[in-house]
């Protein structure tokens, strides 16, 4: 059994092939064009660029694995969540997709909350109205682009556009649908009340499946463009967060992941939907049938370090220092960065502030501070923001028995140790952390009968490589720094008013 996982990310599309033991045989990535930002806070991409990348990544991955198309047993899909792909009656894209990080819908979120009431909105969807979600984007398009909206006959999420290209089917999964604000998360179905509020015909929405269920098969046309065999089953898959959690074995209550990519996510599996009355964390269906999850999101986690490196450390004649060099400089400075604090609000913030207008800040600079201090403050500030989510989990009595680290941040031993110290608990990294594409491949294996359940697939395939334990001295220093960090947002908000 050979399985393909395909991740339609923000910066590129990644293909991974695994075998029946969960071993990675090959992986390949094709870059996307940078997302466009026609106005401040906007973020758009052309779905055709995702498909172009898929038709490059898939054959590259098969070639690296030295596999024939006939050897692939199933395909699983994952990708960036929340994006609005609007299609006409002929399945042509009506406008560029509005992405997860787009912030243009603040007024629509405010109006929606006023119309339904914050408590009723959480009762219906398990989540508040946030600018990143799909429904506010639909409302924005209805209001600001009525001529374009009049042509729309269906809407899809990013990975589901790729499904349409692969299979001709319009479908999604319960985990990705949970992030639209059109989904009844508790009952795992589209919400009739929310589609009514959106003045959206139910026929515009794709069929919804549990993540391991088969939704279609590779078409003749897609086979010609990707090198896959016609007829290969394609399972529903999941949004990138749920698929990434499957790939890390976060499938039972008590298991938690902290993932640092462009954004940062703290993700906990739960046996029932757990709602935060204040809406600070998301409650979504899990990719594991009959399970849910909660997660807190930091909008600009890895992006904080990338922004600092690319915008402030590189010039036309001077290349930016490597990430390894920067983290080595940070490692030479003490825990707490000698009082320097970073507020990672470069893209507004979700958890816990729900504020699209939040802005980043570097606070406490002195002549004594070096570049290494600044880098350490950025790394610590991101970890502090993730700790905010763990604090909310504790308030809601969500169990945390183990924490696994993922994303690019998990490749930095310094950042891993820093998280152990800030969370004051052991954290672990995995042998093969291939991201959401790996989880999508595991879901495909369950869908085609290779494993009896998602839990069993993870038990057999996911292995811990290294553990990091907290250091008591650093824990004490960082606890004091976290208390100072907690006072940053209220102070910055006052300044912005």
C-alpha separations of 192 from 53, 63, 137, 183, 292 in Å: 35, 46, 18, 9, 21
Rounded to whole angstroms, how far apart are CA atoms 36 and 331?
Answer: 35
User: 358: helix, coil or strand?
Assistant: coil
Cα-flanking dihedrals φ and ψ of residue 226, to 5°? -110, -20
> Cα–Cα distance between 166 and 230 in angstroms, integer?
10
279 closest CA partner among 385, 126, 388? 126
- 3-state SS, residue 77: strand
Q: Please indicate whether residue 240 is annotated as part of the active site.
A: yes
Residues 387/423, Cβ–Cβ less than 8 Å: yes
Identify the residue whose tokens are 């639209």. Answer: 180
Q: Name every residue whose Cβ is closer than 8 Å to that of residue 336 and which is 6 or more positions away in sequence.
A: 380, 477, 478, 480, 481
Q: Where are the alpha helices (DSSP H) in 198-322?
A: 220-226, 240-247, 302-307
Cα angle: 395, vertex 396, 397; to 5 degrees: 95
* Contact assessment for residue 57 and residue 70, using Cβ atoms and an 8 Å cutoff: no
Q: Among residues 428, 418, 391, which one has the least CA distance to residue 305?
A: 418
Catalytically annotated residue among 160, 176, 240, 276: 240
β-bridge pairing 24-31 and 214-217: unpaired
- Where in 186-324 does DSSP place strands (E)? 189-190, 207-209, 214-217, 233-235, 238-239, 254-260, 264-270, 282-285, 292-298
In angstroms, rounded to a whole number, what is the distance separating the alpha carbons of residues 143 and 353? 27
What is the number of residues in the chain?
Answer: 497
Give SS3 for 290.
Answer: coil
> Angle 472-485/371-395 helices, nearest 10 degrees?
80
Rg (CA), the chain: 22
Residues identified as active-site: 240
């Amino acid at each position: 059994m050979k399985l393909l996982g395909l991740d339609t990310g923000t910066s590129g599309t990644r293909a991974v092939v695994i075998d029946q033991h969960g071993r990675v045989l090959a992986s390949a990535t094709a870059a996307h064009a940078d997302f466009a930002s026609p106005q401040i806070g906007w973020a758009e991409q052309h779905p055709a660029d995702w498909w172009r990348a898929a038709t490059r990544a898939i054959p590259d991955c098969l070639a690296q694995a030295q596999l024939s198309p006939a050897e692939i047993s199933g395909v699983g899909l994952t990708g960036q969540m929340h994006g609005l792909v609007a299609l006409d009656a002929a399945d042509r894209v009506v406008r560029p997709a509005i992405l997860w990080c787009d912030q243009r819908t603040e007024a629509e979120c405010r109006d929606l909350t006023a119309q339904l009431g914050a408590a009723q909105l959480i009762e219906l969807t398990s989540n508040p109205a946030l600018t990143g979600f799909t429904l506010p984007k639909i409302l924005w398009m209805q209001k600001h682009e009525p001529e374009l909206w009049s042509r729309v006959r269906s809407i899809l999420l990013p990975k589901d556009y790729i499904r349409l290209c692969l299979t001709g089917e319009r479908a999604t999964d319960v985990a990705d649908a949970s992030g639209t604000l059109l989904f009844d998360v508790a009952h795992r179905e589209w919400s009739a009340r929310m589609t009514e509020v959106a003045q959206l015909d139910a026929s515009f929405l794709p069929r919804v499946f549990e993540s391991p269920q088969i939704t279609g098969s590779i078409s003749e046309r897609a086979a010609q463009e990707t090198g896959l065999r016609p007829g290969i089953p394609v399972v529903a898959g999941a949004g990138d967060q749920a698929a990434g959690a499957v790939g890390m074995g976060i499938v039972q209550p008590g298991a938690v992941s902290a993932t640092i990519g462009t954004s940062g996510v703290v993700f906990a599996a739960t046996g029932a939907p757990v709602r935060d009355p204040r809406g600070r964390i998301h409650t979504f269906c899990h990719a594991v049938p009959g399970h849910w999850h909660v997660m807190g999101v930091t909008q600009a986690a890895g992006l904080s370090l990338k922004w600092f490196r690319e915008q402030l450390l590189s010039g036309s004649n001077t290349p930016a220092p490597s990430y390894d060099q920067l983290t080595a400089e940070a490692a030479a400075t003490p825990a707490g960065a000698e009082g320097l604090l970073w507020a990672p609000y470069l893209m507004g913030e979700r958890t816990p502030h729900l504020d699209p207008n939040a802005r980043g800040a570097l606070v406490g600079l002195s002549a004594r501070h070096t570049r290494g201090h600044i880098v350490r403050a950025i790394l610590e500030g991101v970890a502090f923001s993730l700790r905010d989510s763990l604090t909310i989990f504790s308030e809601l009595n969500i169990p945390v028995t183990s924490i696994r680290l993922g994303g690019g941040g998990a490749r930095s031993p310094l950042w891993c140790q820093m998280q152990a110290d800030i969370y004051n608990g052991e954290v672990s990294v995995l042998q093969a952390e291939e991201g959401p594409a790996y989880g999508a491949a595991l879901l495909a294996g369950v869908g085609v009968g290779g494993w009896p359940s998602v839990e069993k697939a993870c038990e057999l395939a996911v292995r811990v490589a290294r553990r990091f334990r907290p250091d008591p001295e650093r824990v004490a220093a960082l606890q004091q720094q976290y208390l100072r960090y907690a006072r940053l947002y209220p102070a910055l908000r006052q300044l912005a008013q």
